[in-house]
Amino acid sequence: MTQQIDPLALAGAKPKGKRPYFLEDTDAERVMAITMAVAQELAVMRERLDTVERLLESKGISQDDIESFVPTPEQADQRGAWTQEYLARIMRIYQQEIEALDQPNEPSSEEIGHELAES
Amino acid sequence: MAETNAHSNYDGPPDYRLVGEHGMFPKTTHDEKARFNFLAHLNRHLASRVLPGVKTAYETRIEPNNPAPNHRNQVRKALLKDPLFQHWSAQRRNTMELRQQAGRWVTLRQAEELNERARELTEGDDRLQLDPSVELPSYLSKIDHHCMPGSYHDEIVPGDVTGAANYDCGIFVTTGGGLGRFNDGGGQAVVAWMKENRPDFAPKRILDIGGGLGQNVLPIAQAYPDAEVICLDTGAPVLRYGLARAKLMGVENVRFVQANAEDLSMYPDGYFDWVQSTMFLHETSVKAMPKIMKESHRLLAPGGIVMHVEQPQYDPDMPLYEQAIRDWDAFYNNEPFWTKLHELDLDQWMVDAGFKREELLHGGVAAVVDTELFPEHGTDEVEDYGRKAAWHIIGGEKKAA
């Protein structure tokens, strides 16, 4: 009875029966599935934050306090820096594509590998 | 338990914190409750805000190019080419997968506690009658119904009840709470029908076939406390969980028996006064149904009643578009027999099983829920075809000889 169950591995298991895809491009459907899971987690976070705000309200910090909050210049800078870092992570693929524009003939690792394997 | 605001104009799924937490119910964290809330809303949104658009798309840009279809499959195939139907379908399928993953996460992370609690409550209790020699019929072994990995029968470890607990804690999502606090709105509806239409009926023995974890038979057992009630299913995990759940809910007159409803030869003729199935027949097959129906007739005592509760049949008055949408679960949510069942002449099948035409019963029921807390589906204008908590009854009453 002490057999281990790994929820990470098993929670998302495929049900028996071939999965149907509906969109013309199955890749678009994969991206939709991932996006909706992320949307779900955002709602989960929003509900948690709502709980925190309402608990704070019961401790004397009102919704108005939150709405009218103005960060100090130092706090605003920290927030701005966080948002920049956040966007840089999300937008990495564009950054790298733009950097590659300067090197239209850049060889791939496979091509370099062939070169390095030549005697 | 959370409270509700009786004066609010809010019209949507109730908060997950209102579900009934009997002693076998898996514990959920704040985030897990929020996840179920989101998914219930997502289903509701797809039904109330997107599906009506699919109907408009059908009427304005699909039907004109596919005039005069003569079968729902033609309509479905035309719909499959439309981008809005594609997106609604992709979202509906994905939402079911998210729901299964969310529920399995909840139950698998506490599997040891759940399995241990079920063991403590059922070990040595003769009301749990498991029979490992019962073979799984092909209609259950070939596919996992409603995309529920492991279905009603797989055990990840010996004594596993996590699949049943997942069903119990997550079905809220699929119906937006339409089945009530204990997912028993169907069973409550059956009781209400019986009390209204047969007020003097006093069954001594009641059999619920394909009863799963007993969620719909417990209200029947509570309404007829002197009756000996049997919840029959092929899946050991749902029965194990079911007995533990029933005991913790204070319902003591139900036995949970592992058997295949096609062959109930262990019970003599006329043994039961009431044979019930609730949303079960659509998970069987054309080969199994005559056997199940014949057994149900044979087991019925004179004066007894057989009652099957299902979604409505595809009668000729039902538009082909509605039939095609109702068929969605058959093709895309692992309910393979759903489409065939709903076109059968069930009256004829009941007659073939031994009932006389004049003994047949028909009716309609809607989930009976605590409407202070939960939405009432009988009067709900939003129709999530095939999933609305309102059903048809096809039954038979064996006249006393």
Q: Give a yes or no: residue B5 inside a domain.
A: no
Q: In terms of residue numbers, what domain contains B274?
A: 181-397
Task: Select from B28, B29, B101, B240 the residue whose CB has the most chain A CBs within 10 Å, as the one to mutate to test that interface.
Answer: B101
User: Nearest CA to CA, how far is B369 from chain A (Å)?
Assistant: 26
Q: Tokens at residue A81, please?
A: 């820096």
- Beta strand extents in B54-135 (DSSP E only): 128-129
**Structural contact between residues B224 and B198, judged by C-beta atoms closer than 8 angstroms:** no
Residues B272 and B152 in one domain: no
Q: Which pLDDT score is estimated for B50?
A: 93
**Structural contact between residues B258 and B283, judged by C-beta atoms closer than 8 angstroms:** no
Per DSSP, A23 falls in state: S
Largest alpha-carbon pair distance within chain B? 65
Locate the domains of chain A by residue range.
22-69, 71-104
Q: Give the H or E element holding residue B233.
A: strand B228-233
Q: Give a yes or no: residue B275 inside a domain.
A: yes
Q: Which pLDDT score is estimated for B10?
A: 85
pLDDT tens by residue, B318-337: 999 999 999 999 999 999 99
One digit per residue, pLDDT tens: chain B, 401 residues? 566 666 578 888 999 999 999 999 999 999 999 999 999 999 999 999 999 999 999 999 999 999 999 999 999 999 999 999 999 999 999 999 999 999 999 999 999 999 999 999 999 999 999 999 999 999 999 999 999 999 999 999 999 999 999 999 999 998 888 898 999 999 999 999 999 999 999 999 999 999 999 999 999 999 999 999 999 999 999 999 999 999 999 999 999 999 999 999 999 999 999 999 999 999 999 999 999 999 999 999 999 999 999 999 999 999 999 999 999 999 999 999 999 999 999 999 999 999 999 999 999 988 888 776 677 766 677 778 888 888 999 999 999 86
Residues B154 and B229 in one domain: no
pLDDT tens by residue, B347-373: 999 999 999 999 999 999 888 887 766
Q: Which pLDDT score is estimated for B388?
A: 84
Amino acid sitting at position B228: E
Residues B144 and B120 in one domain: yes
CA angle B3, B6, B12 (to 5 degrees): 80
**Structural contact between residues B229 and B254, judged by C-beta atoms closer than 8 angstroms:** yes
Residues B220 and B99 in one domain: no
- Indicate the number of domains in chain B: 2
- Length reported for chain A: 119
Residues B243 and B281 in one domain: yes
Contacts of A44 in chain B (CB under 8 A): 31, 34-35, 38
Q: Which pLDDT score is estimated for A119?
A: 86
Residues B146 and B54 in one domain: yes
Residues B165 and B190 in one domain: no
Round the average pLDDT of chain A to a whole number and report it.
Answer: 93
**Structural contact between residues B214 and B254, judged by C-beta atoms closer than 8 angstroms:** yes
Residues B224 and B121 in one domain: no
Complex ipTM? 0.85
CB pairs under 8 A between A and B: 113
- Beta strand extents in B234-355 (DSSP E only): 254-258, 272-278, 300-310
CB environment B52-85: b (16+ within 10 A), e (fewer): eebbebbeeebbeeeeebeebeebbebbeebebb
Q: Which residue has the tokens 């929003």?
A: A46
Q: Give a yes or no: residue B364 inside a domain.
A: yes
User: Nearest CA to CA, how far is A88 from chain B (Å)?
Assistant: 28
A37/B142 Cβ within 8 A: no
Residues B93 and B141 in one domain: yes
**Structural contact between residues B170 and B313, judged by C-beta atoms closer than 8 angstroms:** no
Per DSSP, B147 falls in state: G
Q: Give a yes or no: residue B2 inside a domain.
A: no
Q: Chain B 75-134, CB below 8 Å of chain A: which residues?
A: 80, 83, 85-87, 89-91, 93-95, 97-98, 100-101, 104-105, 108-109, 111-112, 115-116, 119
